[in-house]
Amino acid sequence: MDQHASDAIQLRIDAMCDRVEKLKEQDLYFYNQPVRELRGGARVLVDGREMGMYASYSYLGLVGHPRINQAAKDAIDRFGTGTHGVRTLAGSLILHRELEEKIAEFKGAEDAITYSSGYVTNLTVISTMVGRGDYVISDKLNHASIVDGCLMSGARFLRFRHNDTESLEQRLQQADAEQGSAKLVVADSVFSMDGDIIDFPNLVAICRKYNAWLMVDEAHSVGVLGKTGRGIEEHFGMPGTIDLKMGTLSKTIPSVGGYVAGKRELIQYLRHASRAYIFSAAIPPAQAAAAKVAFDVILDEPWRVEKLNANTEQFINGLKGRGFDTMNTQTAIVPVLCGSDERAFELTGIAQHKNIFVLPVVSPAVPPGLARLRATVTAAHEPDEIEHAMNIIEEAGKKIGLIA
Ligand code: PMP
């Protein structure tokens, strides 16, 4: 007899497995598909079929870049594949310092610290900066890793309406009533489900007015915003305004890891107080070397940022012109609003059967009724490929009655 047969944990497991099974039976399960080959960044081989890739975060098409691959191979030859421990003890390599110096330079900061992923970076940094008795104030649509970091911190967790600086101000007034408690405001630069950009000038002004620390997650803005792809401060012409510039090495930068760039003392503090740095292993040598060179490639090949901008414009305008609601996106993350979860699954199913790799985003990742197909473009796509993908999505949209 199964001793867990009907307890609450088992019921949760069963409910999830049932949901997955039902979607599979209806041929509407699109997650965890094994990609067999990457074909130049814009196309992938899945189940023996070549598909146009519109779900990639490799915004500048740097996955597989020869210079980056070579740096990773050289690092393996020099250092092997692991770091035999945490950074504080024996796991720190010269490569880690070089990467951190490169990040600091790229982000216009005094120093930087790296962690094993972006998710871990948000957890550990937020929970190191604030704790019991403090306030952490977060945009309602911030990424799950920010939410988890806020919860883990034990600080009083206030949320403001999405991209609404009046609502932020109300929260700060609430926090300000209590003298002496620290205040940390956290926001995404570009929102990962909607593609819109935070109202950065007002965000900065309000944080300053209330003397709050500002942390911005640049997972979707590095390589995407700013003339040279340096991110949100460059985009708005406001250098040096973020206290904690957080980012990931797993999207535009084709590696794995996360970082925070900021003032020298802040980074020194995190190096000696953040638990994921002290108690968890470092980024492997190949990934550190790849990430470092990727920042150089972004600056050496400025055409990539320009091409991403052109592709983004073509994609958003093309979908809007075909009658789709792309919400408030201004970036390479382009939602196609479907409404119900079922419609998002249907639209995705038709597109995928026509070899366009896009994914549905449904509740609880987005509020019920706002399910969507979420597509991304990158600098690796050519204009005719984008046109073809949009034609397929249009055909699918007409078939399910989403557009006329
Ligand atoms: N922040 C944001 C806004 C993200 O979209 C993601 C990844 N989806 C992360 C953090 C986590 O980054 P990583 O994948 O490096 O753990």
Q: What DSSP line would sit under 18-46, residue for residue?
A: HHHHHHHHTT---SSPPEEEEEBTTEEEE
281 DSSP assignment = B
Distance CA 249, CA 292 (A): 10
Is residue 65 flagged as an active site residue?
no
The residue type found at 80 is G
CA-derived radius of gyration, the chain: 22
Distance CA 138, CA 188 (A): 9
- Output the CA 292–ligand 1 centroid distance in Å: 19
DSSP letter, residue 331: S
3-class SS of residue 62: coil
Report the C-alpha gap between 6 and 200 in whole angstroms.
49
DSSP state of 282: P
- Backbone φ and ψ of 235, nearest 5°: -55, -45
Report yes or no on whether pTM surpasses 0.75. Answer: yes
Among 127, 153, 192, 221, the one annotated catalytic: 192
- Check: CB of residue 358 under 8 Å from CB of residue 374: yes
Q: Which two tokens stand for residue 85?
A: 């421990």
**Domains in the chain with CATH codes:** 24-53+302-399 (3.90.1150.10), 66-300 (3.40.640.10)
**CA-nearest residue, atom 15 of ligand 1:** 118
Strand bridging mode 356-357 / 156-160: unpaired
Nearest to 359 by CA among 27, 32, 118, 50: 32
User: What's the confidence (pLDDT) of residue 1?
Assistant: 60
3-state secondary structure of 183: strand
- Residue with the smallest CA separation from ligand 1 atom 14 is 118
347 with 336: CB under 8 angstroms?
yes
Q: What is the pLDDT along the chain (404 residues), one digit of tens a residue?
A: 677 777 999 999 999 999 999 999 998 898 999 999 988 889 999 989 999 999 999 999 999 999 999 999 999 999 999 998 899 998 899 999 999 999 999 999 999 999 999 999 999 999 999 999 999 999 999 999 999 999 999 999 999 999 999 999 999 999 987 787 899 999 999 999 999 999 999 999 999 999 999 999 999 999 999 999 999 999 999 999 999 999 999 999 999 999 999 999 999 999 999 999 999 999 999 999 999 999 999 999 999 999 999 999 999 999 999 999 999 999 999 999 999 999 999 999 999 999 999 999 998 889 999 999 999 999 999 999 999 999 999 999 999 999 99
Q: How far is the CA of 359 from the centre of ligand 1 (A)?
A: 17
Structure tokens at 221: 């803005």
**Cα distances (angstroms) measured from residue 58 to each of 41, 61, 103, 259, 378:** 8, 5, 18, 17, 7
Distance 234 CA to ligand 1 centre (A): 21
